[in-house]
Chain A
């Protein structure tokens, strides 16, 4: 009996396998590096350009001439070589890929650490560096070590105001920042998590050091993919040996925060109420989906935020849907500002990085020292906690009205 990773990679735990890559992803940040490496390899042609995707999301639109030149070079290359290219404004690569571009059982490799996001579909999806990506462009394949697997059973239903992000922070806190290094995590259990919630949970597997974070595809996966015109099959679970087994009762998950500067430093929001904030940021591949924007809008509708607030939809599709349903209007009317679909300030380059000594609350996935502003502090939370905190101008528990 095998883990899902063993079945997809066709090898036993601990063995090295050479695999063909079903979908390779790079963005404007790592894609430039990959292009340099590809040229240094003196590779003649791209293997399977239709399986290679480049999505501009890190600094969009370009913030200065240097960035613009680098982006222009990669853009030209992508057009010349027939690569599946998505320009500025398309969205965060992981969100764009989740909109009907990945199927259960596929092997997805991305030059970005949060490529583990696509594990939500039952794909084996993991991050590599730029030279590995260049090698995949040149050969269509790569080597992987089949990981051992940690099982986390997610049982029950989340209470009101608790969200998939709280689940993600809870398991990262439980495992620690290196608790799953070299390993995969399989999320199983009886729960009612939808695809958007699973994407949030798989997304943060890397914050525990995991190579991948997988859900078995089921009726919900198939329903979601059908909306994009894709046929998928449910994956059956098998009895298999896990290196560690944990259970999270969703009914007991309360709203939590990751306290600077560690993602695994997780505390109940109620313990930190009243910390004054300079900025709230909602977005990223973790929490920039339509459901996240709606959660935020549902709280701030008809009210005004008391702190500067940046909202960045994770993709053009998310932005469009938020426009159509009025969610975007609610957010703008509350006093928040909207950024171009993409990573926003998450990587610390633009669109709302903090100044020295400032304190922010963010729905992103990393609160590393100086990452989103030199000398700043960032707490990580769910969109609903972010919304209640934005209305108060300080960290606030969801449900406590200002």
Chain B
């Protein structure tokens, strides 16, 4: 999958991804509209078809699944980071949002093309290829089903 780079920094917490003041609703579109509002109010308009490229500890803090849902709903293709907070990691997999954990920083700028592949566990941009963490069979099973809701609907 190819997307446009939207860069984010280190330690982006889930309060920054979607603020607590927007949580008392079931409206996914509202979360998408306000994604990253407290980091950069203009950021949500650039998310459709994007790949977020972040530093370490992306998604730390609150367990709110709305963070993963907001990004998915906003049209984010995937998230690349040097590490993810573990609850966000689970939530993203459960919502079918592909994650790419890479060893070193990915050299790129906002708006660059970036190619991400779960099958090959790699990320490619600026003519350089970066290996990403291979997901476990259990995680791939969830992603292949389109998320844990679809997987359970099939199995239960």
Count of chain A to chain B residue pairs whose CB atoms are closer than 8 Å in the complex: 128
| Min C-beta distance of B55 to chain A, whole Å | 10
- A32 at interface, CB cutoff 8 A: yes
Contact of A128 among B11, B24, B63 (CB under 8 A): B63
Contact of A178 among B11, B19, B94, B95 (CB under 8 A): B11
- A113 at interface, CB cutoff 8 A: yes
Q: With A43-B152, A129-B68, A182-B86 in contact, do A369 and B15 touch (Cβ < 8 Å)?
A: yes
Contact with B along A311-325 (1 / 0, CB 8 A): 000000000000000
| Min C-beta distance of B103 to chain A, whole Å | 14
- B43 at interface, CB cutoff 8 A: no
| Min C-beta distance of A263 to chain B, whole Å | 9
- A348 at interface, CB cutoff 8 A: yes
A129 in contact with B56 (CB, 8 Å): no
Complex alpha-carbon distance, A59 and B23, angstroms: 11
Residue of A nearest to B84 (CB): A181
A180-229 CB contacts (< 8 Å) to partner B: 181-182, 206, 209, 211
| Min C-beta distance of B90 to chain A, whole Å | 6
A178 in contact with B23 (CB, 8 Å): no
Complex alpha-carbon distance, A368 and B90, angstroms: 22
| Min C-beta distance of A168 to chain B, whole Å | 16
- Please, which residues of chain B bring their CB within 8 A of the CB of A338? none
- B102 at interface, CB cutoff 8 A: no
| Min C-beta distance of A18 to chain B, whole Å | 9
Query: How many interface residues does chain B have, given as a range?
Result: 35 or more
Q: With A127-B87, A177-B11, A369-B16 in contact, do A112 and B63 touch (Cβ < 8 Å)?
A: yes
Complex alpha-carbon distance, A32 and B94, angstroms: 17
B108-156 CB contacts (< 8 Å) to partner A: 136, 138, 147-149, 152-153, 156
- A374 at interface, CB cutoff 8 A: yes
Complex alpha-carbon distance, A113 and B65, angstroms: 11
- Please, which residues of chain A bring their CB within 8 A of the CB of B83? 178, 181
Complex alpha-carbon distance, A366 and B21, angstroms: 16
B53-89 CB contacts (< 8 Å) to partner A: 56-57, 60-66, 68, 83-87
- A37 at interface, CB cutoff 8 A: yes
- A132 at interface, CB cutoff 8 A: yes
Contact with B along A345-370 (1 / 0, CB 8 A): 00111000000000000000010111
Complex alpha-carbon distance, A134 and B11, angstroms: 28
- A248 at interface, CB cutoff 8 A: no
B90 in contact with A132 (CB, 8 Å): yes
Q: With A128-B63, A138-B152, A369-B15 in contact, do A349 and B87 touch (Cβ < 8 Å)?
A: no
Q: With A41-B149, A178-B56 in contact, do A366 and B87 touch (Cβ < 8 Å)?
A: no
A129 in contact with B87 (CB, 8 Å): yes
- Please, which residues of chain B bring their CB within 8 A of the CB of A43? 152, 156
Could you give 30 example pairs across A and B, Cβ below 8 Å?
A16-B136, A16-B138, A29-B64, A30-B63, A33-B65, A33-B66, A37-B149, A40-B149, A42-B152, A44-B156, A113-B62, A129-B68, A129-B90, A131-B65, A131-B94, A132-B90, A135-B152, A138-B152, A178-B11, A178-B60, A178-B83, A209-B57, A209-B86, A347-B20, A348-B20, A349-B20, A366-B61, A366-B62, A369-B15, A374-B19
The 10 A-B pairs with the shortest beta carbon distances in the complex, nearest first, are: A178-B57, A129-B91, A129-B65, A41-B152, A348-B20, A113-B63, A131-B94, A130-B65, A370-B38, A40-B149
